[in-house]
Amino acid sequence: MFKKIVASPFLVFPLMTCIVFWPLSLQLFTLKNDALTYYYPVRTLISDALNNGELPLWTPFINMGYPLHADMQSGAWNPVIWAFAFLTDYNLAAFHYELVLYLSFGGLGFYYLCRQNKWTVSTAFSLGFAYELSGFMIDSVQFFACISAACYIPFIFLFFKKLIRGGRTIDALLTALFLYLLFSGGYPSLFIITSYFLLAYMLFIFVGTPGKTKYARQMALPLSLCVITFLLLSLPVVISYVQHLPFLARGNKQSLDFVLENSMPPLATFSLISPFSTTAHSSWLQTDPLMRNAYIGLIPLFFLIYGFWNKSVRKIKEVQFLFITAILMFGLAFGSHFFLRQVAYYLLPLMNTFRHPALFRLFGIFCLLLVTGYAIDEWQQRKDQLKNAELSKITIAFSLGALALSIFIFVFRNAEVLGIFKTGPADFKSLVTNLSFYQRYLFQLPVILFIAVVFYWMLRRKKSFVFIMFLCLADLVAATQFNIPVTVIGARSFSEVERSLNRNTDRFPLPGKTSIETNSLNSIDGSGLTGSTLPFQKKIGRNDYYITPGNLSSQEQFYDSPETADVFKHPPIFYSDTLAVGDITVKRFSANSLDFTSKSNLPGSITYLQNYYPGWKAFVDGKQVNVIKTLTTFMKVDVEAGQHLVTFQYAPTVIKNTWYISIFTLAAIILFLLSRLIFSRNHDERNP
């Protein structure tokens, strides 16, 4: 029993993730850049709303008010984020453990995808680790929504394969559930690419199935159930996004130049050998350093090459589909360096709405690892000795090539290589950052050769694949440690970052009567660690830091206008009619509402410096009144003279009603899955 628990993938993957990402799991260092400047503050705001007994619909602390529920990357509708919000009040440690969950869940999903193909446990573990610690994962940690999307893709493909091959209800529901988790909490473009990937696979299965008409009739009902369930789960998300698109510039058709930003240079495929090298600032790697890595591990790479040259592997129809798809995905990832992304931009729906072509490499990695699984499976089933000889030749050729490149570097780049020893003393972080491409390659070369030599020795000694699995894991862990200081963690300690964030423990402090100008003063973090401090200090304000991926266009228009300075001299709530003189006292303030009393000598208008947006309502003494758009982007109400209780409330009725539908659907799915699990266990006990 103990051995079974220790070897359980539900324990192994989280444990290994904590070990590999030890600077984060031990809270020694933190994530950096986008993770801290956008994804973390947004999650704290979601948590504050939920723990205040509200839906996370609006936040007053981002750029003078923002519809949090409509932000495609916020995760405001994602149940996983809700769970972390309720359980932890969302602190910085919870942010790290959410990442650990996503990474280990991705490895776990790939493990079960491999087991579905009836591959051995050691093969499944090896490829699960290879996916979880692949170049895309290690490079994309700062883009939290990319990791949260990537972790669901193996499960989506796993249950979708079962669905279109068996048509079972449970597979339809599970496919819909994981698609919903990706859609509500992941990067939007990865959902679009996933949808195309599933469509292509379904067409591949359909073309290869005899009796196509009968098959289409059989699949119509389960596929319809999958689509309908997904839509019911995603209703509040879909309506929120669709409603939001007209109010921002991004999300509709973008220019081709914008779409091609951050293409993966073809030469960055060298990361398959030495991922550390491609993190360097080189003239021929002109893209974001986080958009280059395609590492899958040296051992999977050797088996991939073996499978490519093996006729029996190449003859497998699914291998052919996966290999062609991998080539197409990398072709799309090359973006401006190749023609496929431009073709997709003009021909395929929604392909003209997002940038970062390098994101396509995730699906290239995904397909190559599955091809590798077929190659490993074929290798394990062969009884002749030729299989080891073929792999040995591949390993020897690879090692000689790696050594030849190092000799070239020493001969033609010796001044650059030796230059590092002539520099003055520096901390490790600075040293790593300043290394050139060739220096980084030479730093990683001993590990590369060590893995290749040990693998060759294992082949010659005819070691079981269990030993190869551990070698594969050791290689992936080592490669990750090289890249972590560059792509994952910042230079500051966990405690120092927490002090810098200085998060206000009061969920919704009363706005007070200080001006927006005062609130916004010195609100940009000069160190660049947090970007804007407003979401952490919880002040209504606006600064030049572009915190959200899709600011309201009206807010941008106002901020660029000459009236900005005069308006920001006022507090968040003020009498905008110069004839009216009186007092405003805030009684209650929360994510979605504001209650205050007004007392004036004359009728007038009261302006609330929050962005006007569909769903806002206003009440004076309990009676609903019109919300008037003013000053380009803000809102006001008219009040009579005397004392009144005024309420601004963000209450989009349709969004709330669809949320009830989504929650009911989610609860029904969970109950159905639990009942199936209980029935299955009872059946196993009755029929041992």
Does 626 score more than 60 pLDDT? yes
Please name which of 490, 494, 488 lies closest in space to residue 429, comparing C-alpha atoms. 490
pLDDT of residue 679: 72
Q: Does residue 627 contact residue 616 with C-beta atoms inside 8 Å?
A: yes
What confidence tier does 272 reach under pLDDT thresholds 50, 70, 90?
very high
Per-residue pLDDT of 422-479, as tens digits, reads 555 455 555 666 788 888 998 899 999 999 999 999 999 889 999 999 999 999 999 9
When pLDDT is cut at 50, 70 and 90, the band that residue 7 belongs to is confident
| Separation between Cα atoms, residue 208 and residue 388, nearest integer Å | 33
State the pLDDT confidence band at 282, using cuts at 50, 70 and 90.
Answer: confident
* pLDDT tens string 120-139: 999 999 999 999 999 999 99
CA 123 to CA 418: how far, in whole Å? 41
Q: Which domains does the chain have, with CATH numbers?
A: 152-248+654-688 (no CATH), 255-463 (no CATH), 573-651 (2.60.40)
Q: What pLDDT band is residue 67 in, cutting at 50, 70 and 90?
A: very high
Which of 28-37, 82-91, 125-134, 544-553 is predicted most confidently? 125-134
Q: What is the pLDDT of residue 387?
A: 75
CA 369 from chain centre, in angstroms, equals 20
What was the pLDDT predicted at 285? Answer: 80
160: its two tokens? 């979708």
Is residue 70 very low, low, confident or very high in pLDDT (cuts 50, 70, 90)? very high
User: Using 50, 70 and 90 to split pLDDT, how confident is the model at 410?
Assistant: confident
- The label of the residue with tokens 């830091």 reads 545
Cα 531 versus chain centre, distance: 19
pLDDT above 60 for 683: no
In the numeric block, which tokens belong to residue 15? 């444990």
d(CA 23, CA 46): 26
| Alpha-carbon distance values, 247 to 226, 351, 556, 631 (Å) | 31, 21, 11, 16
Quick one: pLDDT at residue 28?
Answer: 94
Phi first, then psi: what are they for 625, rounded to 5°?
-125, 170
- Which residues are registered as beta bridge partners of 382? none
Amino acid at 636: K
Question: CA 653 to CA 600: how far, in whole Å?
Answer: 32
Residue 681's pLDDT is 65
pLDDT classification of 249: cutoffs 50, 70, 90:
low
Note the pLDDT of residue 3: 61
Give the model's confidence band at 680: pLDDT under 50 very low, under 70 low, under 90 confident, else very high: low
Which token pair is 298?
């040296």
What is the C-alpha to C-alpha distance for residues 269 and 295, in angstroms, rounded to an integer?
Answer: 8
Output the pLDDT for position 530: 79
Give per-residue pLDDT as tens, 352-372. 989 899 999 999 999 999 999
Classify residue 628 by burial, with Cβ atoms within 10 Å: 0-12, 13-18, 19+: middle
Return the higher-pLDDT residue of 360 and 556.
Answer: 360
pTM of the model: 0.93
166 vs 650: CA distance, rounded Å: 46
pLDDT of residue 167: 87
Range among 86-95, 241-250, 320-329, 388-397 rated most confident: 320-329
Predicted pLDDT at 629? 95
Helices 169-185 and 153-166 pack at an angle, to 10 degrees, of 150
Q: State yes or no: pLDDT of 684 exceeds 70.
A: no
Q: What Å distances lie between residue 81 and 50, 58, 336, 576, 618, CA to CA?
A: 11, 16, 35, 40, 30
pLDDT band at 170 (very low <50, low <70, confident <90, very high): very high
Does the structure show a pLDDT above 70 at 322?
yes
pLDDT attached to residue 420: 59
More confident residue, 502 or 148: 148
Bridge partners of residue 634, in order along the sequence:
630
Mean pLDDT of the chain: 90
For residue 507, what is the enclosing H or E element? none
H/E element, 663: helix 653-686
- Percent of the chain past pLDDT 90, that is, above it, reads 72
